[in-house]
Homo-oligomer: A and B are copies of this chain.
Amino acid sequence: MTPTQIAHDVIRGNRRALARAITLIESGREDHREQATQLIEALPKDREALRIGLSGTPGVGKSTFIEAFGLMLTRQDLRVAVLAVDPSSSRSGGSILGDKTRMEQLSRDPNAFIRPSPSQTHLGGVARRTREVVQLCEAAGFDVVLIETVGVGQSEVMVAEMSDIFALLMAPAGGDELQGVKRGIMEIADLILVNKADGDLKAAATRTCADYTGALRLLRKRPQDPQDFPKAMLVSALHDHGLADVWHQMKSLAKWRKDNGHWTSRRAQQATHWFDEEVRQGVLSHLTSHGGTRDLMDQLRTDVGQGKISASAAATKVLKTL
């Protein structure tokens, strides 16, 4: 099948074609990469899902949240795709627990599609592939694409770069711990969801939510923020509390951004960002796979490894050949 034919079947909602297309996109082979680019180009640009980025450290209840939130959406006849960006998959091939076992009910739902993180040699590769899979899911007619990531680092920034709305899932905490949240991460969040607002932790969760509300007020407003955003909210994924309100807030935020021109401009900025990333990555693989530069690179790699020359000085030599 040609990339165009696969694209056609993906658009018709064929699941097997979607899986096949994703495999093509995640492949490391150069001819597959070419076909994947053709496939992406053949997708219609007029189908848009709401892209929701979701992050939270291990133990915060991310899987429980996604399962409950996803099932709420599919009950409303919305089609939901869940993708993961796992910074550790570059080494180990994924987290200890598989993604499907984490979300048992959702994974059996015909309106849901769950895909674990691609295994790539570096986080940039994981993010790039995921971004293309987001586009595939939109073309396949999904209404919501949830992109999940872990941690407090670069993977969050990357996921925010491919999301319309970015939500941070947090656990209830003492006042001291609040100070540990990095401002950079607070600044990319549209919603801070304080989970586990149930049982013994309810009081702590309420306090934590109030603390975040206060902290968010200290941040400078961004142009893409309507009144009252970013905001902190209480949820209990376990007891299905607050999820409908979260969805309501997300929809009204998306609507406000569309009405005020931020939606389109943000998607444009994001596309440009990924273009830069593609170029950066492509140039390196070019340098390491073609003729004269490859030999120079190999020689310099050895020299750098033996401490004969510093990484910077060696890189300068390569760059002079351009």
Q: Given known contacts A58-B177, A306-B268, is B313 in contact with A41 (CB within 8 Å)?
A: yes
Contact yes or no, A315 B275, CB < 8 A: yes
Number of A residues near B (Cβ < 8 Å) is 82
A window 268-322: CB within 8 A of B: 268-269, 271-272, 274-284, 286-288, 297, 300-301, 304-307, 309-316, 318-319, 322
Contact yes or no, A90 B184, CB < 8 A: yes
Q: Which residues of A contact B (CB under 8 A)?
A: 36-37, 40-41, 45, 57-59, 86-92, 94-97, 123, 131-132, 135, 149-157, 173-174, 176-177, 179-185, 187-188, 267-269, 271-272, 274-284, 286-288, 297, 300-301, 304-307, 309-316, 318-319, 322
Q: Which of B87, B96, B183 contacts A181 (CB 8 A)?
A: B96
Give the oligomeric copy count: 2
Contact yes or no, B88 A36, CB < 8 A: no
Contact yes or no, B182 A150, CB < 8 A: yes
Q: Which of B41, B59, B318 contacts A310 (CB 8 A)?
A: B41
Residues in B with CB closer than 8 Å to A314 are 275, 278
Contact yes or no, B275 A279, CB < 8 A: no
A-B contact pairs, 25 of them (CB 8 A): A37-B310, A40-B310, A40-B312, A58-B177, A59-B173, A59-B174, A59-B177, A59-B180, A88-B183, A91-B184, A92-B183, A92-B187, A95-B183, A131-B311, A149-B153, A151-B152, A154-B154, A268-B304, A269-B305, A271-B311, A272-B301, A272-B305, A276-B284, A276-B301, A283-B284
Residues in B with CB closer than 8 Å to A271 are 304-305, 307, 311
Q: Which of B36, B157, B177, B319 contacts A312 (CB 8 A)?
A: B36
Contact yes or no, B315 A282, CB < 8 A: yes
Residues in B with CB closer than 8 Å to A36 are 312
Contact yes or no, B319 A279, CB < 8 A: yes
Complex formed: what's the CA distance from A287 to B322 in Å? 9
Residues in B with CB closer than 8 Å to A40 are 310, 312-313
Q: How far is the CB of A296 from chain B (nearest CB, A)?
A: 10
Q: How far is the CB of A53 from chain B (nearest CB, A)?
A: 14
Contact yes or no, A305 B92, CB < 8 A: no
Q: Which of B95, B278, B287 contacts A315 (CB 8 A)?
A: B278
Q: How far is the CB of A316 from chain B (nearest CB, A)?
A: 6
- Contacts A58-B181, A88-B187, A268-B304 known; 15 new A-B pairs at CB < 8 A: A37-B312, A58-B152, A58-B179, A59-B180, A91-B184, A91-B187, A91-B188, A135-B310, A152-B152, A268-B305, A272-B304, A276-B284, A279-B297, A280-B281, A283-B322
Q: How far is the CB of A47 from chain B (nearest CB, A)?
A: 12
Q: Which of B45, B157, B176 contacts A87 (CB 8 A)?
A: B157
